[in-house]
Chains A and B, each alone.
Chain A
Amino acid sequence: MSNRLTWSAVAFALTLGLTSGVDLARAQGTIKIAYTDPLSGPFAQVGDQNLQQFKYIIDWINGRGGAIGRKFELVAFDNKSQPSDALLALKSATDQNMPIIMQCSGSNIAAALIEAVDKHNERNPDNRIVYVNCGAVATELTNEKCSYWHFRMDAHVGMKAETMVRALPKDVTKVYLLNQDYLFGQSVQRDVKAFITKLRPDVKVVGDELIPLGKVKDFSPYTTKIKASGAQALLTGNWGPDMTLLIKAGMDSGLDVRYYTMYAHLGGGATAIGPGGNGKVRSVMPFHENIAVETGKTDTEGWTKQFRTTHNFDFYAAGFRTIFEFIQAAMNKAKSSDPAKFAQALEGLTITDMLGHQVTMRKDDHQILSEYFVGVFTKGVKYDSEGTGLGWKTEVTVPAKDLDQPNTCKMKRPA
């Protein structure tokens, strides 16, 4: 019967497809780093821009010898914002014995990866892999969910919240909180309130809102409430349209507040906010292109400037260079790219980053400790953002030792 035809066709196609296989064989001798982020779908810009910035950084690191005499190579996997695809990427990486998997976007994916890496390393002690987290910021990942094989290379929510509170000027005494209603936004809400109580007891929280993620298009009712509350500053962890629409609505209605955000400096933020945000919008960030100008670091400045000539967006993630400098230093110290060995060298390591600051990888929870900055979006800076004529200028620098927060990690170390 013709089911026969169907099934012959299926079997043939399947065998053909699978046995031609995912042949990602690369040159011998390079240290392969798997990188997974959304490269298609609604969040594709995140992965795409990260890839370009990574490539530039890796070229530079390889130009300085790579690590243990070998060059780095980034192998990208699209995870389409789904944990199951990220886990597939992990399987692909371990199939090829890659020592590192890196991921920057999405705490839900990060949580899945931490658990999967732990289980894999436990069940396959001869083929381990290290998970380098370049941007998933949920605090639990280095507290309740902490793992020996996970290293976080960006400040977590608690540290960002503290930076935000520390940046509030003395004359601001009334603040309004508005965040997205899911784990990340709820953490921001909780941590900001905790740090206000601890560091700035004179500040009063006059409003505290949670909005459903990505659903609100019209923020004018919220700006009405903010205005009515008399707040002088709006603190938000929102990202994407939730952030840009909020700021636009505020500016349109003439709201006279300072906007403190965590993500306005990422790709697309400056364009969406526009020149109207001059002097009003602030963002908590690990790096911006004008810091090197302000501190006189000319070679770093030259390096980031070179990026701008060959790419059409800002080098907002230049700070990723610190990640590779850490990996390079750890592998050189351990004289090996074997995960068990260089993970041991990596924890507790301190290096000097490209801005001249001391950066440490904390041993008890594998969280990076580094300076953090609050920049204000303003005119009159040397490097502007996305052609808007405005750029970021440092308003407040918070030293690393101030961000050395306690942690609740009970790390299980391998034997």
Chain B
Amino acid sequence: MRRLFSYVIVALLASVPLWLGDPYILNAFITTGIFTIAAMSLNLLLGYTGQLSLGHVAFFGIGAYVSALTSLGFDVELFEGFHVVHEPWPVVYGFLLAIVFAGLCGYLVGKLSFRVRGAYFVIVTISFAEVVRLVALNWVELTQGPLALTSIPPFTLGLPGLGYVNLYGKAGNYYLVLGVGLVAYIVIKHLVQSRIGRAMIALKENESLAVSIGINVTAYLMLAAVVSAAIAGAAGSIYAHYLRIIDPDIFLFLYTVTMVIMVITGGKGTLAGPVVGGAIFGAIPVIVRSFAAPEVQWILYGAFMIAIIFVLPQGIVPAIERWFPRGPIKQPRVASQSAASVE
């Protein structure tokens, strides 16, 4: 039943560009989709492993810049007379490098941040993101600073021999986002529904107990950090090649907040949560724009988040799941059932 529901949703989403005429709304779908992918990755860290990392936008932004710079090329002078020059590469390489680089940053930040816990962890993660933003703002030679990186080439998909397509238009990017989103969703699903996922959830719930049964907490925290950063980097890359212009504002705390809101209101620790949250918070600006200033959109974001936390602290999806509970776990037919028990 659930599976059928998912297929219907995906089919519906796939059909959107075919009948949606309004380019503004289609754009909203695309950017919302990109942020939803980033939210899904944050959910891995926040919802499943229980680490409130508030610097997540750093990986998103790093992915965007790495991808853009790879495809644009650059020439920087690191010190006296020593230049690092990079010729433009096809966008696909930018995408892959974005994933790798963001994942690496996730590893480094994780290694340093997981030494502290609780509130301090939150503050350290925010600080990292802010430092990255300031570097992007000030290292003008590499990033053009506030003047922004422009003329970023669009995504190019294709295979040698079959031809290439440049995704300048909205429809193409929409399907790209949908495709990458589905892949990200499936990868995360496989991860959290596996033995590894169980280890992550266990360490969130009770760390001492988890280590006592052999779960290497540090290793799994790092894994979650790397995978979530890598996926965020992928989303950032798509963003850069869709907008074709990025500036250091991409690292604003505001965007981390957007992702956090999507995850928390949708339901942290659930697969559908970020998607539901993404849909709601993507819809708000579209609905609001016709009658109110953009600030109102954010005020509604904040108020809505507070309301959800007070009323449905677990988020929307768990509340819905309580009305449609899963069936009991099926027991395999084992003859020794009654014989071996002490009951």
Same complex origin of A and B: no
B contact residues vs A (CB 8 Å cutoff):
none
